[in-house]
Structure 1
Amino acid sequence: MTTLGAAWEWLTSAAHWSGGDGVAHRLAEHLYLTGVCLALSCAVALPVALVLGHLGRGGALAVNLANAGRAVPTFAVLVLLLLSPIGGWGSWPTVIALVLFAVPPLLTNGYTGMRGVDRDVVRAARGMGMTGRQLLLRVELPLALPLVLTGVRIAAVQLVATATVAALAGGGGLGRIITAGFNTASTPQVIAGAFLVAGLALLVEGAFALVQRFASAHPGGGTG
């Protein structure tokens, strides 16, 4: 039997899908970690991106600083956090490392989307007497939404792929399947774990692509 065949057999074995170490449980852990980190990343990056994009000031500096963080590997950040006093805070080192990793695409796309809104439309809205808040929420944000969602999609897919590092810090997720395979010298299990991560990333990519397509087809939909 080939290695790929053995990996497929591992994946299709019911015994590997049940229990605390089974695929179903690890998949749920992976989705939960990804969802929490994506929500926190959006809560941190999007308000900054939208406000700076609306004001048109300070955005370039914020984007450049965020992009500079991409030069630092997530694993290196995780190791440094584990060695710091934060290392004793349970899963927080992993969450912080992943959030820092997801911020740049959210900040960059959010700011770029806001600044890309047609200035004539903005001036017309101001001429109609809209306040800054109304302009941001009812004009700029709906028009910038497709590009904002691009940033969310990129961040989500990156998080799905990178959340495997949680296993190196004793956390859960699909990375535990891969590390367990390495620990037992089971190449089929390692490949099966990699397939699961790749498949989940593709599903997340597809889901967000559909949402983004809908937003692009209905710009400003539901605003009034």
Structure 2
Amino acid sequence: IKGPVFCQLLMADEINRASPRTQSALLQAMQEPRVSVAGKYYDLPEPFHVLATQNPLELEGTYPLPEAQLDRFFMQVDVDYPDLEGERQIIVNTTGTIVPEPVQVMDAKALIEAQGLVRHVPVGESVAEAILELVRAGRPETSDIEDVKKSVSWGPGPRATQALMLGVRARSVIEGRLAPSIDDVLALVHPILRHRMALTFSARAEGVTLRSIIDRLCDRIA
């Protein structure tokens, strides 16, 4: 009997409450994508995506995700409180008797075709070099920025470079442009890098934030 992981969109609510064993199994599904049981492999359906949430406030009884699994997530989107109009829509739409029905905007075949299209978008040399310079400057081993050397415990790996390259291509397609620009890199750098970096204990004690560090990286290419 196939479990819930055999789907096209896996939604994991408060993933840091899953046990390390469950997280390890999910890591294989995100990386390969397939699962293994008793030495046999079972392919997951295409396309396969994982959408996960974490509650940053209640940490009791949670298991922090290992760096290897965090790196598999394309981006981290921080969800703040809604603005006034957004909260107005929430109370109107969720407290009445009418339940909104979801509307399909794309099927699996169209999504796979769109993903293939993104990979064919040309990227200029200046954009590619900006991505490389930005990511490599975020690693304390290769950075020439003193704040990074002092405050960053570990920096973004090659998957961050790949994610930025795919992200800027996708953003240019969504906005109807033929090629990405430096502005696309700057727009995506925070959600793509923030979960692929960590501060040292002393930096956290001094009030340093990853946002400020990533802003320093952006100054290199802005």
Q: TM-score, normalised by structure 2?
A: 0.24
Larger radius of gyration: 1
Q: TM-score, normalised by structure 1?
A: 0.24
Q: Which fold has the larger relative contact order, with Cα–Cα distance below 8 Å and residues 6 or more apart in sequence?
A: 1
Flag the structure with higher helix content: 1
